[in-house]
Structures are given as structure tokens and as C-alpha cells.
Chain A
Amino acid sequence: MADKVSMRIAYGQALAAYGAENKNVVVLDADVSASSQTHYFAKACPERFFNVGIAEAGMVDVAVGFALRGKIPFVNTFAFLLTLRAAEQIRTAVAYANTNVKLIGSYGGLSDSFDGPTHQSVCDVAVMRAMPNITVIVAADAVEIGKLVPAIAEWNGPVYLRVSRAEVPVLFGPDHTVQIGKGNVLRDGYDVTLIATGVMVGRTLQAADELARQGVSARVLEMHTIKPLDADLVLKAAGETRALVTVEEHSIIGGLGGAVAETVSDGRPVPVVRVGIHDRFCETGPYEALLDRYGMAVGDIVAAARRAISMS
């Protein structure tokens, strides 16, 4: 197993490093900088750091004001608060007004595992995906976060980036590249394609290993950008492997699974089996154990692959 590195610390350090260079970056936080790790930026660039208190909705609007004057605001709080409490602010003042605001949802998925369902975020991607104009990205490891921070800052338009609280195995080397809207082929294969995002990419690679041992050749795609989805890559996989599995630490409704199913149903219908949380809230517990219990074990991915193949 590869070394584990904290996603949130990687984010905080990348933001501080990039923000120190790009003077247009401003960072807002709603009293969780010690959690979201924006304290690194706050220390490096105190004049461009704004702690608004526990006021998520207002924070989004303040960021919009910054964006209207050409700043690049990074808005930080827990994913559930950002995407739900501030949903109308995001819909009207960020999405519809198409302002250049970067929304960073910390503690994505079940990663705030011991705080329980109030703090876990199982539908943030679905909510953000439903809004026109917003680019939706989920980072897979600490290396990718480091690449994504400059990429989203330089992307012209609103972005939602989901960051995990967890320590996650490092998957990528320093030469890893990210291009927003383009998935990465991590492994080739011809019996089935496993399309994974975020923290689940590591487990998906383990599932592909297991499938290989069972004589199944699985292609693995890493899809950091959920919207706009890399439809070319998905449709090519649908055509060539004729069975798809999506893997995400999110409700199977409206996230990566929804995006892939919508894409293939329009373009190249093939079975799509969705691995993720089955339309429910979870509970308190150790992170890895929660992933296992709520449908995101390596075995669940393997079983999903077999089911997709059997239907194709």
C-alpha cells in the first residue's frame, strides 16, 4: 500500500503556495480554517484572508463581490454547509450570474466519519451538478489536489471542488497531469470499465487487481471532473468494453453514477452499475469501516463489475 497523505493538508499547503504567487487570490473561510486547512494561506497572506464567522451563505455572496472586481475567491467550509446552506446563493449569484468563484467543499463524503451524518456529505456533487455553469471536480489524492488548485484558479468560471478530510494513499507521481474536463486512463482493459472518482480511485485499482486475478480484464478511468464529464472517454469505454461500473463516495443518485448513466443512455446504452451510498444516511465510525459497510468495499466493486459484465 502506498503512503497515505492528508488530502486537506495537501489542499491547504497548495492554496498557500499558489496564493502567495497569484495576488488575485483571496480566501474566505467560515470559522473552519483549522479544519479546511486554509490557515496555511491565512498565515502566508493575512491581508487576503477573510474569516466571516459561521455565515456560509453570506460568505458566498462576499466572494461574489470579490469576483466582480476581478479577484479569484476561494470559498471554504464543510461540503454539506457550502452546497446546502448556501445553495441559493450559489445558484443565483455564482451559477446564474456566472461569477468566477471557487467553491471548496471540505470534509467530502464520509471522511468526517466520527462526527456522523450531520457532518458527512453524501449529496453535494448531485446538488452542484444540477446547477448550470458550475464545473464539478473531486480530487483523488494529495498529488492531484496540488495540481488542481492552480488549475481551478486559472479556470475561467465557477468551480466546485470536493476535498476529503481523510488521509489517502498517494496514487500519482509528480508528473501526473490534470486537465479539467478530461479523465485519466489508469489501466487498460476490455471486459469492463471501472470509472472512479475521488478517494475511491485507490479502492477501484485494488478491485481491478482482484478482477485480474479472477481473469477479468478491467479498464480503470479516473474521473476527477464530474462536470463537464469527459463524454468521449466514457462513450469509448462503453463501446469497447460494453459494461461500466461507477465508483464514488457519494449517493448513487446524481453524482458520477448519474452523470455516466445519463451520458451512455443518450449515446451508447450499456449496463452501468453504480457503486456508492444507496440513498441513505450513514453513521458514526472509523472511516474505512464506513466505506466498507455502506457499499464501497473493494468486494462491492468486484461484484458490481461481475454484474455489469453479466448484463452486457
Chain B
Amino acid sequence: MGYHPESLIQELNEVARRLRLDVIDMIFRAQSGHPGGSLSAADIVAALFFHHMRLDPHQPDWPERDRFILSKGHAAPLLYAALAERGYFPTEELKTLRQLDSRLQGHPDRLKTPGVEMTSGALGHGISIGCGLALAARLDGSDSRTFVLVGDGEIQAGVAWEGVMLAAKYRLANLTVILDYNDVQLDGFVHDIMPLEPMLDKWRAFGWHTLEIDGHHMRQIVEALDTVSNIHHAPTVLIAHTTKGKGVSYMENRSTWHGRAPTKEQYEQALAELGGM
């Protein structure tokens, strides 16, 4: 894997900006949804869907595709934006988020939305589901990889660590967890509600390979994902330090914007701060 040109990085940054605009627009139209955790993971999702993962939007069921599990299912608007912008379904459909008869449910539904690998929304499932996908790929002799995006708050759930143990036992190098470490959850700061530090030590003690990055620095994200491809002895976790609500000043680092829709005025300010539609 050679050095990635600056043009790629700029392109992915522009994708991430586009995804953030989509997220704000969707949640404003629906007047419901979770902006904070969608904005924090936008750069990571842009890198995965528009550069790193092996996908074919024209064949959502292609067996050799890489799998992406959105364990933090409340970031559904971000996933929908990425799928639409990538060509899985028309971007126009994003406007239907959370409406009756929409394919875009409040949380991801694998049976309704093209490209959604797994239903999610209840937290703590993704790592174990990823383990099953990775073990099955190994049985099949497939080099398809599995990526699981988890929130920081959700690994307070003990069941998440059942999957962490299992991945280490079976040395699932084809499984990558990306931890969106924005330090904010519904009720406040993660470090107040239920601290997770020392985060890296926890994963290392459980037998995982760890990488720590700035989750908004596109070159770091892309290069870390490249690095993961060369780790063959263990599952890897990318601890991505992020800012909840990234890109919209009044949402940043505020738990009140975990699950709330902007007013018209706030919406217009957000669009302006993100550089406009």
C-alpha cells in the first residue's frame, strides 16, 4: 500500500462534509433522530465506504463484499447517508427518514434498507455479531473482512466484552472494531457516567491489537485501516478519538444533542457551519 495522495484525503474529507450535511438535513426534516453520534463518526464512515471497504452498491448481496455492522445503531442517519451517497439507493430517499412507509427506519433494519447488513439499535450486539461473520468467513475460506463501528457508551454493556473475549480466543484478524470515542453519552460525559479508562489497556489485556487515532484526521484514519490489513495474529480495535456533534459548534461535546432535532434557525446555522448544501 503506497502513500495516499493528498487528493484522496481531500476527496474523503469532502465526502464526510457531505455526509454531515445529509445527517443534519435528515434529522431536521424528521424532527427526530440522533445527530451527535452521527457527526462524530462521519469521517470514519466516509473512509470505510468511499475508500477502504470492498463493496459493490449494484450488488448489495455480493458474497465477497466486506461487512459493516453499525453497532451504535442510533447513528442510522449517517449510515443511510453513506449508503445513498455511495449509490445503494437514491439520495432523494434520505428525506423520508423516520416517516411512515419509509425504508429508513429510526434504527437500521437489514430487511428494509439495501446495504444495511444488520439490524441494530439495541446497544452491545455488534462485536459478537462481527465475531460470527468473521468466523463464518474463515470457514468459507473467504478474505471478506468485517468492520464493526461501536460507540464508547455501549461498551459499558457487559455483553460487549463477551464478544471481545471470543474474538481474541479465535484470533479473528479479519475482524476490526472501530470505537467512536467521543466521550459523550445520553446522560452526560462517559468519563462521569461510567469511566472506560484506561481504554487501550482494557483491549490489550483482552488480547486485541490496538491502534489509537484522531477520528477526524482523514489521513490517520486511512493509514490506520491500511495498517490493520497487515495484522494477522489478532483482532484489531481502532480507538478513534472524536468529538460528539463534530462540525456543528452548538452540538459539539453536548450530551443534549445525543438525540434531538435542530430548529429551523439551528438547522440553517448548522448548514452554514458545514459549508452549505
Q: What is the bound-complex CA distance between A58 and B159, given in angstroms?
A: 6
Asked whether A97 lies within 8 Å of B131 as measured between CB atoms, the reply is no
A18 adjacent to chain B (CB < 8 Å): no
A109 adjacent to chain B (CB < 8 Å): no
Question: Closest CB of chain B to A32's CB: distance in Å?
Answer: 16
Query: Contact residue range for chain A?
Result: 20 to 34
Q: Is the interface of A mostly helix, strand, loop or mixed?
A: helix
Within residues 71 to 115 of chain A, which ones have a CB less than 8 A from any CB in chain B? Answer: 71, 73, 88-89, 92-93, 96-98
Q: Which among B2-10, B115-123, B231-239, B248-256 touches the partner chain?
A: B115-123
Asked whether A61 lies within 8 Å of B129 as measured between CB atoms, the reply is yes
Q: What is the bound-complex CA distance between A47 and B132, given in angstroms?
A: 14
A65 adjacent to chain B (CB < 8 Å): yes
B137 adjacent to chain A (CB < 8 Å): yes
Q: Which among B32-40, B160-168, B211-219 touches the partner chain?
A: B160-168
Asked whether A97 lies within 8 Å of B162 as measured between CB atoms, the reply is no
B110 adjacent to chain A (CB < 8 Å): yes
B224 adjacent to chain A (CB < 8 Å): no
Asked whether A64 lies within 8 Å of B136 as measured between CB atoms, the reply is no
Asked whether B129 lies within 8 Å of A64 as measured between CB atoms, the reply is yes
Asked whether A93 lies within 8 Å of B130 as measured between CB atoms, the reply is no
Asked whether B122 lies within 8 Å of A92 as measured between CB atoms, the reply is yes
B193 adjacent to chain A (CB < 8 Å): no
Q: What is the bound-complex CA distance between A68 and B65, given in angstroms?
A: 13
Asked whether A58 lies within 8 Å of B118 as measured between CB atoms, the reply is no
Taking a contact as CB atoms closer than 8 A, the residue among A47, A52, A92 that contacts B162 in the complex is: A52
Residues of A near any B CB (own CB < 8 A): 26, 47-48, 50, 52-53, 55, 57-71, 73, 88-89, 92-93, 96-98
Residues of B near any A CB (own CB < 8 A): 67, 109-111, 117-122, 125, 127-137, 139-140, 146, 159, 162-163, 165-166, 170
Could you list some 30 contacts between A and B, CB below 8 A?
A26-B136, A53-B162, A53-B166, A55-B166, A57-B162, A59-B162, A60-B128, A61-B131, A61-B132, A62-B131, A63-B132, A64-B118, A64-B125, A65-B136, A66-B132, A66-B135, A68-B117, A68-B129, A69-B136, A69-B137, A69-B140, A71-B136, A71-B139, A89-B125, A92-B119, A92-B120, A92-B125, A97-B111, A97-B119, A98-B111
